Amino acid sequence: MTIKGLSHVSIVVPDLDAAARELASKYGLKTGAIKVNAEQGVRMAYVDLGNAKIELMQPTSADSPSGKFLARNPKGGIHHFSLEVDDVADAASEWKNKGVNVIGDGAQKNVHGAPIAFVHPRDFLGALVEIEEH
């Protein structure tokens, strides 16, 4: 299993529309269409940087993972970064066999329908990592 590259960095924001306006006015960054991922409890949009993306996430539910993050960080902040792999289930299995705490096996899907899982922060230098199938 090989990590193919960085897919995106996810930032939880209290107001997605305001965040998009701020990125446009200060940095000239264009935010794409807003999508809803009901399974993860977020409204989200991407800023395409060419070689990676910034994923902006606004919780739609206070009890979702991003809602709980926002409760602890009211101004928002970096939630996780995402790495691309060929097969999430294979990567999750391989890493679990090495003692890595992988949350999920690819059954959960992102807003584009691609399989995802997460590596617990204690097993990746303190950072929450999403693995995403491409």
pLDDT of 106: 80
Instruction: With a cut of 70, say whether residue 19 has pLDDT above it.
Output: yes
* Whether the Cβ atoms of residue 129 and residue 81 lie closer than 8 Å to each other: yes
| Structure tokens belonging to residue 3 | 């990590």
Average pLDDT, the chain: 94
Residues 29-49 have pLDDT tens digits of: 999 999 999 988 999 999 999
Residue 9 to residues 54, 90, 94, 116, Cα–Cα distance (Å): 5, 23, 24, 14
Share above pLDDT 90 across residues of the chain, in percent, rounded to a whole number:
88
pLDDT of 107: 84
The DSSP line for 2-23 is -EEEEEEEEEE-S-HHHHHHHH
How many helices (H) and strands (E) are present in the chain, helices listed first? 3, 8
Instruction: With a cut of 90, say whether residue 2 has pLDDT above it.
Output: no
pLDDT of 111: 87
- For 3-133, CATH gives 3.10.180.10
C-alpha of 31 from chain center: 16
Length of the chain: 134
- Residue positions annotated with a catalytic role: 130
Q: Where are the domains of the chain?
A: 3-133
- Residue 1 — very low, low, confident or very high, per pLDDT cuts 50/70/90? low
- Residue 38 has a CB neighbour count (10 Å cut-off) of 10
| Structure tokens belonging to residue 42 | 């977020």
Residues 84-102 have pLDDT tens digits of: 999 999 999 999 999 999 9
Residue 42 to residues 11, 26, 115, Cα–Cα distance (Å): 12, 24, 17
